[in-house]
A = this chain, B = another copy of it.
Amino acid sequence: MISQTEENYLKALFALTSTKGEASVNELSKMLDIKMPTVNGMMKRLSEKDFVIYESYKPLKLTEKGRKEASLIIRKHRLTEMYLVEKMGFGWEEVHDIAEQIEHIQSPAFFAKMDEILGFPEVDPHGSPIPDENGKVIVKDFDRLSDCESGDVVKFMAVKPSSEELLKFLNSRELVLGAVITIQSVELFDKSMSVNYAHREMEVLSNMVCEKLLVEHVAK
């Protein structure tokens, strides 16, 4: 059996290792806001249980078992977020904290039902992919809007996990997933962009915002 606490460590480690494949105790400690010695001890426990590869002074890695376990928790989290938005009427900025709790519910039937009711969605309300029942994820590597150029026409596909505030900002600009964005111009000194989308024209998006928006180039 695996505790909620352990699940949270695995999830955080999964997020940290998804880029470089490894992470430090220090990074994990900061991400979870738990002191290093505590994290260290937990890494030993999780390595004992074969979820983590831990060797003194070496970077942390997840085992295949650990990766799968983490993916399945993320699956439950993202299915829940989708359910809350699609079936209960929550805004995409409201669902993270609730899903953070519901992801620990032990009931395959419950999540299977959600999945079915939602019609087996592939992404959550923020565009992040939902791992399948075996923990497999199809990762699409979108471009950051901030890496695009003036004249590009792109489709808004996902938001990088960030603050509720960013989501509220996007709400206020009516910038929703799927929107087709045309980049009118890019400011040289601060890299802010003027963009058009839907019925909105010349909306200015700061570079901080553009770095969080993931897009796909649209055929010209």
Binding site for B on A (CB under 8 A): 84, 87-90, 94, 97-98, 101-102, 105-107, 109-110, 113-114, 117
Given contacts A88-B117, A117-B88, are A101 and B109 in contact (CB under 8 A)?
no
Instruction: Give CA–CA (A113, B87) in the complex, Å.
Output: 11
- Can you give 19 A-B contacts (C-beta < 8 A)? A84-B110, A87-B87, A88-B113, A88-B114, A88-B117, A89-B113, A90-B109, A90-B113, A94-B109, A97-B107, A98-B105, A98-B107, A98-B109, A98-B110, A101-B105, A101-B106, A101-B107, A102-B102, A102-B105
4 A-B pairs with the lowest CB-CB distances in the bound complex, closest first? A98-B107, A101-B105, A88-B113, A98-B110
Identify the closest chain B residue to A104 (Cβ).
B101
Contacts of A110 in B (CB 8 A): 84, 98
How many chain copies? 2
Instruction: Give CA–CA (A90, B116) in the complex, Å.
Output: 13
Instruction: Give CA–CA (A97, B94) in the complex, Å.
Output: 26
Instruction: Give CA–CA (A186, B101) in the complex, Å.
Output: 50
A109 to chain B, nearest CB (A): 7
